[in-house]
A and B are shown apart, each in its own frame.
Chain A
Amino acid sequence: MAPLDNAKPVATPDEEGTAAPAAGRFLKAIYVYEVPVRIWHWVNALAIVVLSVTGYLIANPLPTMPGEASANFLMGYIRFVHFAAAYIFAIGFIGRLYWALVGNHHAKQLFRFPFWDRHWWGELFLEARWYLFLERKPKLYVGHNPLAQFSMFWAIAVGSVFMIVTGFALYSEGAGQGSWQDKLFGWVIPLFGQSMDVHTWHHLGMWAILLFVIVHVYAAVREDIMSRQSIISTMISGVRTFKDAEAPADEGHERPVKKAARAG
């Protein structure tokens, strides 16, 4: 088992959940995701879909349009939609970053990677074992579980920055030398070698984010069915509800009992 040295975990779920139901019932709905976080989540999701589809079509254009060039502007529209969605994606990300500073502590989780926290790594492996069917029960979390936090940090927090930086660098090639995009992001192109390399990496970035999306959607649906807390509805209403009576692992201060056991 993972070394959870700093505490007797609330849930050694196997025994306690069923053995002592009366000891500490945790029947609570907790407000987790504030309005800006939820709006950002769905706007960002839509932006990712639009960016991926248009981005793919920019690299692999649709079949040739018939008629005169003056009567068509298909590639132009596709690129316009890509750039417009990219601005929404980038501005949304900055807004989300701001909300991480002023929002509740769940809003900060996306940007945190507690590398030095042994306890966190322990819970991450525990969660991984649950996904590998090696644990009978996962822990309860009000926010994200460590494994989710890990993948979100790398795919969304780091991934978005990567896509925004490489994307604006490519955009600066069209905007021209001296444009603000060029001044801010133009250095990226020689860093990668040349423009073609930045294109290739921008593509790989898209696929990395898409892989995350696939796993994210699957995990959310599965968790909603199989785990012990609400998932999908939480990102709509903002409220996390729990299906059984145990205390979540990441809400020590809100736990009515077992405070003494946690101390240390």
Chain B
Amino acid sequence: MATLETFYEVMRRQGITRRSFLKYCSLTAAALGLGPELVPQIVHAMETKPRTPVLWLHGLECTCCSESFIRSAHPLVKDVVLSMISLDYDDTLMASAGHHAEAILDEVMEKYKGNYILAVEGNPPLNQDGMSCIIGGKPFTDQLRKVAKDAKAIISWGSCASFGCVQAARPNPTRATPVHEVITDKPIIKVPGCPPIAEVMTGVITYMLTFDRIPELDRQGRPKMFYSQRIHDKCYRRPHFDAGQFVESFDDEGARKGYCLYKVGCKGPTTYNACSTVRWNEGTSFPIQSGHGCIGCSEDGFWDKGSWYARQSDILQFGIEANADQIGTTAAIGVGSIIAAHAAVSALKRAQHKGDV
């Protein structure tokens, strides 16, 4: 990684013809939902811009984000990693290990101060001085803070980095904390999902490198181009929802007919992600298509919003899980009985004092 070549130079070196390169640019534009008039802009950017160094850190995580990422088909992850970005540090994917690997981190931070992108998979645990996650002999929290200091922007990969995910679920003994609550002075792009869709991940990276800016984000810091609609809004089973046709239990007649999974707990109506449009594994399928409701994995605190098999989520503060309607019904019955008793006493009192008033 002596001098940084441009995308185009790298691609040509790899034996890709200019014709293929232009095709690739048009495909990328289409994947990002851009009009044809922006293709020359992408071509120009790729021909002239040096590749941006990306440092990919791993905190408390399960590597499902990486697993998803390496399955990207449009663009192929090979093109992203080998041609588009300069993925200088990713302890799971890189060849070197140990001190050599850690040395690269320092080198890039120094050489490209303020110009590299930090991608974080997983999150830092803050309790016990961060001892629940040790990277190269030091707490991950320290590594994250150090590398974030001179980063241009931070990408929070997955629900762990974005919202906390399973390790931050109640009671969260290690105090696993989403990245944006630890690093507060950098632009952070949240790409939630457990894992995020591969094409969403590469799409976000492609956009940032091509246009040299952060994609437009929504109120919660997620790229609008992938997270502006709910699964429910674009679900192919939506007509059954509007018709009032539901799977009442798994394996019933409705399940065989592909009815809406709302009653068996589908979280599609409350989950913002691109699953129902982009789908998974080169557009093969997504959970609802395979007959299981969405579990809302890209939403804040989704582990604590169970059950995954009931429409209404439990309210954990009530100790024993109860949903809003159970609490409401109980309260209504309680108030109803109090009123009945009150009415009885009122009638008695009135009989006692008849003629007083």
Given contacts A64-B259, A200-B315, contact A75 B328 (CB under 8 A): no
In the complex, chain B residues whose CB is within 8 Å of the CB of A174: 233
Q: Is the interface of A mostly helix, strand, loop or mixed?
A: helix
Interface size class of A (residues with CB under 8 A): 35 or more
Q: Which residue of B lies closest to A214 (CB)?
A: B335
Q: Which residue of A lies closest to B224 (CB)?
A: A177
Q: Smallest Cβ distance from B240 to chain A, in angstroms?
A: 5
**Cβ of A214 and Cβ of B336 under 8 Å apart?**
yes
In the complex, chain B residues whose CB is within 8 Å of the CB of A225: 350
**Cβ of B332 and Cβ of A204 under 8 Å apart?**
no
A115 at the interface (CB under 8 A from B): no
**Cβ of B220 and Cβ of A75 under 8 Å apart?**
no
Interface size class of B (residues with CB under 8 A): 35 or more
A207 contacts which of B228, B239, B324, B350 (Cβ < 8 Å)? Answer: B324
In the assembled complex, the Cα of A60 lies from the Cα of B346 at a distance in Å of 37
**Cβ of B305 and Cβ of A62 under 8 Å apart?**
no
Q: Which residue of B lies closest to A203 (CB)?
A: B324
**Cβ of B300 and Cβ of A72 under 8 Å apart?**
no
Q: Smallest Cβ distance from B273 to chain A, in angstroms?
A: 12
B219 at the interface (CB under 8 A from A): yes
B174 at the interface (CB under 8 A from A): no
Given contacts A204-B328, A210-B332, contact A194 B270 (CB under 8 A): yes
| Interface window among B6-14, B128-136, B242-250 | B242-250
In the complex, chain A residues whose CB is within 8 Å of the CB of B324: 59, 200, 203-204, 207
Given contacts A72-B245, A203-B325, contact A222 B343 (CB under 8 A): yes
Chain A residues 34-62 with CB under 8 Å of chain B are 56, 59-62
A136 at the interface (CB under 8 A from B): yes
- A70, A71, A210, A243: most-surrounded residue (chain B CB, <10 A): A210
B267 at the interface (CB under 8 A from A): yes
In the assembled complex, the Cα of A142 lies from the Cα of B230 at a distance in Å of 51
Given contacts A174-B233, A195-B270, A203-B312, contact A61 B243 (CB under 8 A): no
**Cβ of A73 and Cβ of B243 under 8 Å apart?**
yes
Interface string of A190-208 (1 = CB under 8 A from B): 1001111101100110110
A248 at the interface (CB under 8 A from B): no
Q: Smallest Cβ distance from A217 to chain B, in angstroms?
A: 9
Q: Which residue of B lies closest to A210 (CB)?
A: B332
Q: Smallest Cβ distance from B169 to chain A, in angstroms?
A: 13
Q: Smallest Cβ distance from A162 to chain B, in angstroms?
A: 14
**Cβ of A210 and Cβ of B240 under 8 Å apart?**
no
B50 at the interface (CB under 8 A from A): no
**Cβ of B300 and Cβ of A194 under 8 Å apart?**
yes
Query: A-B pairs with the 3 shortest C-beta distances?
Result: A207-B328, A74-B244, A203-B324
Residues of B bordering A, CB below 8 Å: 218-220, 224, 228-230, 233, 239-246, 248, 254, 259, 262-263, 267, 269-272, 296, 299-302, 305, 311-313, 315, 323-325, 327-328, 331-332, 335-336, 339, 342-343, 345-346, 349-350, 353, 356-357
